Structure 1
């Protein structure tokens, strides 16, 4: 039994939620994005209107990519017999759990079966990305370029379409969109991207050692040592880095041999 759930939690309009409740579905869709991606619930919805063409027992309840592809291929063949069509972009987005794709798919099925239009459905431009979610986050918490590609290019997409050139083009589109939003942020909030150097950094404060000589080692008397044999030597064999060390000469007494007379 499909119990009531707030449209704000499911992401579906209220009239669609009431319609799903009346269908008495066998599975409770706790997560619209996940539960509708396999196609099983979609096939069960169509079976309420076309029981002969949609046999629920022939569909797989699994969540693997192969199970999803088999279910959706069977759904598309059954829809063609009834001269019904679902948008391929929406189906692909639902299979790969893209943001907003499953919600739009359920609304499209609702319109297709009930001939009713939903008032809050926008135009034909869909954006199955996490951009809407990123805009809700603080500026510092938003995704980087690599994270944006990871979020919007799912692993199931790479498995379904293993062509390197195709996936590279998808990544380039995501990266281009990410850079465009960054450029807009620079225009709207230029102060955030301004580098402020009121105080010198550690690199500027650190003393830089200069190489005294580039010809071998060089030794000189240490001014801070009272030992006349103490010397400081610098070596130029460390790729331009000056290495200083102290050379101490120790005069050991001559050891006399103990020989009995």
Structure 2
């Protein structure tokens, strides 16, 4: 089997890819999210550094939830003996194949075992959702509300935590985030959603400031009145004339005789 794998395809940094290739693993993780979820490869990596604490015959290569939980439970006990720790939210995300969790886990293991630091693939506070992937898709290809919940709330996650109320809160958070993104899309692309603009928005769109300014001039009519004409481009670029009429009234005589 060829161990050549591009870091762009695996989502791992080049240093980590070279490090994994040097360990002579039983199989190379072609799909990082899937192959690290059951914990067997993690135990095999630690075995190369601590062979007596991670006996490989104690770990199961199965992909069921029970096999995953048993493997990770053994890994956690062995790490506690060595005074080593992995972030729980990253481990949970890896078990349930959450986007970005396995990549961050391998990066953390690399740092723990080699004492080397690399540029982070993603921030540790990531919620491991498919938001970044959805943003890369065309608008019409993005998930619906139902699909968003299905993508980000895994079946194994609900099996591992059967509390209905907790799973309901997780679904509500996913739905709320999905609706926020949809509302933002309606603002940036109102034509797709057939959003009728409000009167205030129309007025703001029509107020286009002219670079030349308004052009005004005075003229004298035959009746002796002065008219002021102004041309403005504020109304959809059309010139609209305005006239200001000043009437000269004769002085009124007083009707009171002194």
1:43-62 equivalences in 2 (<5 Å): 43-62=43-62
Note if contact 1:2-1:21 (Cα within 8 Å) is conserved in structure 2. Answer: no
1:52-201 equivalences in 2 (<5 Å): 52-194=52-194
- For 1:110 and 1:158, the matched residues in 2 are separated by 30
Unpaired runs of 5+ in structure 2?
A: 197-258
1:104–1:7 Cα change, 3 Å:
same
Note if contact 1:152-1:174 (Cα within 8 Å) is conserved in structure 2. Answer: yes
- For 1:146 and 1:168, the matched residues in 2 are separated by 13
Displacement after TM superposition at 1:183 (Å): 1.4
Note if contact 1:158-1:167 (Cα within 8 Å) is conserved in structure 2. Answer: yes
Displacement after TM superposition at 1:195 (Å): 5.0
Displacement after TM superposition at 1:48 (Å): 0.6
Specify the SS of the correspondent of 2:83: coil
- 2:36 aligns to what? 36
Are positions 1:14 and 2:14 aligned together?
Answer: yes
TM-score (norm 2): 0.73
- For 2:85 and 2:129, the matched residues in 1 are separated by 24
- For 1:125 and 1:2, the matched residues in 2 are separated by 34
Specify the SS of the correspondent of 2:48: helix
- For 1:34 and 1:148, the matched residues in 2 are separated by 20
Question: How many residues are paired up?
Answer: 196
Displacement after TM superposition at 1:141 (Å): 1.1
1:216-250 C-alpha deviation (Å, 9 max, x unpaired): xxxxxxxxxxxxxxxxxxxxxxxxxxxxxxxxxxx
Unpaired runs of 5+ in structure 1?
A: 197-261
Displacement after TM superposition at 1:3 (Å): 1.2
Q: Cα RMSD (Å) of the superposition?
A: 1.4
1:37-58 C-alpha deviation (Å, 9 max, x unpaired): 0000000000111111111111
- For 2:125 and 2:183, the matched residues in 1 are separated by 22
Note if contact 1:62-1:68 (Cα within 8 Å) is conserved in structure 2. Answer: yes
Note if contact 2:35-2:41 (Cα within 8 Å) is conserved in structure 1. Answer: yes
Displacement after TM superposition at 1:2 (Å): 6.9
1:122–1:103 Cα change, 3 Å:
closer
Displacement after TM superposition at 1:28 (Å): 2.3
- For 2:124 and 2:130, the matched residues in 1 are separated by 18
Specify the SS of the correspondent of 1:85: coil
